[in-house]
């Protein structure tokens, strides 16, 4: 479990993260998204105990983020994860198992099981001779060698081919299904949307919105209703044998229906288009939705 309250990081007068507050439960995948420089990696590094916060608090698996004991319960995967390229996958993972004092028999079983799950066959080839995707799988296996309760992954599938990317994203979801707490950052919103239970959108060091995907779409997105009529009304356009009118509310839908009836026609179909996570993200990252965001912040303070 992860609990973050008012987390802040400042570098020489420049604020990288300001007032971040969120929690992640066991069995949950929580995504942190935002443009470059939004504060995502700094946030993850503070939670992993690699960067000291300027203010606020964070607990990971029941320990303060700066407590060395916490790291025995954490699997951390940085965006850039150089490996000892002269080692094989097996020898590399055995080395880290020794660092965590994992008993040899347990380590061997865990290594083989994890590499099986990751479908990594080249286990005795020097890592320097393997593909980027295979190296990333080994780095993920390393993050699991201590059987952690919490996983923090920074761009786990960055720069990989589509097949390997999809495999790693699905594997990340499986880790949460095993009961682990998973926090990760990603730029690919399709992958975030496909596996996350909740997300936090960061911009300029602040969390500007967070919640379930449906909640975010409802709070910050716009719904479009496409009304198809048998007669032309208003500024409708001809589509597939009908006249299409796009409106933003059910009241407007009823107005289109009434207009069609006045002309002796009717509504043949109504299609609803919900806002995508991408459209919500782009709007918030560009400074849009200020009024709604301010209103949501006010409601949180009152609660």
Q: Please indicate whether residue 238 or residue 186 has the higher confidence score (pLDDT).
A: 238
What pLDDT, in 10s, does the model give residues 142-197?
999 999 999 999 999 888 888 888 888 999 999 999 999 999 998 888 888 889 99
Taking the C-alpha atoms of residue 239 and residue 35, their distance in angstroms, rounded to an integer, is 37
pLDDT confidence band for 277 (50 / 70 / 90): confident
Q: Which residue has the tokens 């707490």?
A: 181
Yes or no: say if 32 and 38 are a contact pair by the CB < 8 Å rule. Answer: no
**Which whole number is the average pLDDT over 44-62?**
95
Taking the C-alpha atoms of residue 173 and residue 171, their distance in angstroms, rounded to an integer, is 5
pLDDT confidence band for 221 (50 / 70 / 90): confident
Q: Which two tokens stand for residue 63?
A: 């320990």
Three-class secondary structure of residue 220 per DSSP: helix
Q: Which two tokens stand for residue 98?
A: 């020794």
User: Among 72-86, 129-143, 279-293, whose mean pLDDT is lowest?
Assistant: 279-293
The helix, strand and coil proportions of the chain, stated in percent and rounded to the nearest 5, come to 40, 30, 30
Average pLDDT, the chain: 89
What pLDDT, in 10s, does the model give residues 86-123?
999 999 999 999 999 999 999 999 999 999 999 888 89
For the four alpha carbons of 18, 19, 24 and 28, in that order, the dihedral sign comes to: negative
Res 300 pLDDT > 50: no
Taking the C-alpha atoms of residue 37 and residue 238, their distance in angstroms, rounded to an integer, is 45
Q: Are domains 2-217 and 224-273 of this chain identical in fold?
A: no
**CATH for the 2-217 domain, from 3.40.1160.10, 3.40.50.300, 3.40.50.970, 2.70.210.12:** 3.40.50.300
CATH annotation of 224-273: 3.30.1490
Q: Which residue has the tokens 């992958």?
A: 191
pLDDT value at residue 289: 54
Res 29 pLDDT > 80: yes
**Which whole number is the average pLDDT over 22-32?**
96
- Distance linking the first and last C-alpha atoms of the chain: 23
**Which whole number is the average pLDDT over 64-89?**
93
DSSP string, 4-45: EEEEEEEETTEEEEEEEEEEE-TT-EEEEE-STTSSHHHHHH
pLDDT value at residue 297: 43
Yes or no: say if 116 and 195 are a contact pair by the CB < 8 Å rule. Answer: no
Non-local (6+) Cβ contacts of 205 within 8 A are 15, 16, 17, 18, 38, 39
What pLDDT, in 10s, does the model give residues 196-209?
999 999 999 999 99
What residue segments make up the domains of the chain, in order of their start? 2-217, 224-273
pLDDT value at residue 121: 86
Report the greatest alpha carbon distance in the chain: 81
DSSP string, 261-301: HHTT--EEEEEEEPPPHHHHHHHHHTT--HHHHHHHHHHHH
Query: Residue 6: left if φ>0, alpha if ψ -120 to 50, beta else—which one?
Result: left
pLDDT confidence band for 290 (50 / 70 / 90): low
pLDDT confidence band for 296 (50 / 70 / 90): very low
pLDDT confidence band for 270 (50 / 70 / 90): very high
Per the document, the length of the chain is 303
For the four alpha carbons of 210, 212, 215 and 217, in that order, the dihedral sign comes to: positive
């Amino acid at each position: 479990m992860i609990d973050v309250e008012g987390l802040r990081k400042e570098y020489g007068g420049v604020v990288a993260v300001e007032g971040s507050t969120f929690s992640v439960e066991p069995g949950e995948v929580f995504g942190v998204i935002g443009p470059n420089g939004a504060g995502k990696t700094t946030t993850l590094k503070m939670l992993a105990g690699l960067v000291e916060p300027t203010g606020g608090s964070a607990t990971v698996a029941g320990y303060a983020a700066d407590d060395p004991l916490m790291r025995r319960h954490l699997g951390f995967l940085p965006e850039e994860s150089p490996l000892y390229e002269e080692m094989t996958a097996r020898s590399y993972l055995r080395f880290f198992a020794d660092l965590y004092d994992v008993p040899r028999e347990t380590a061997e079983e865990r290594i083989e099981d994890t590499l099986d799950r990751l479908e990594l066959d080249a286990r005795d080839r020097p890592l320097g001779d393997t593909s980027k995707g295979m190296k990333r799988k080994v780095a993920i296996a390393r993050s699991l060698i201590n059987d952690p309760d919490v996983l923090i992954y920074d761009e786990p599938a960055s720069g990989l081919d589509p097949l390997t990317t999809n495999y790693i994203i699905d594997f990340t979801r499986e880790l949460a299904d095993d009961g682990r707490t998973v926090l990760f950052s990603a730029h690919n919103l399709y992958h975030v949307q496909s596996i996350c239970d909740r997300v936090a959108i960061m911009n300029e060091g602040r969390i500007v919105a967070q919640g379930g995907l449906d909640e975010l779409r409802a709070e910050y997105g716009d719904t479009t209703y496409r009304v198809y009529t048998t007669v032309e009304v208003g500024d409708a356009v001809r589509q597939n044998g009908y006249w299409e009118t796009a409106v933003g509310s059910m009241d407007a839908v009823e107005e289109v229906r009434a207009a069609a009836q006045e002309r002796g026609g009717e509504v043949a179909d109504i299609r609803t288009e919900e806002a995508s996570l991408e459209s919500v993200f782009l709007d918030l990252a560009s400074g849009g939705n200020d009024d709604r965001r301010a209103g949501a912040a006010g409601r949180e303070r009152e609660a």
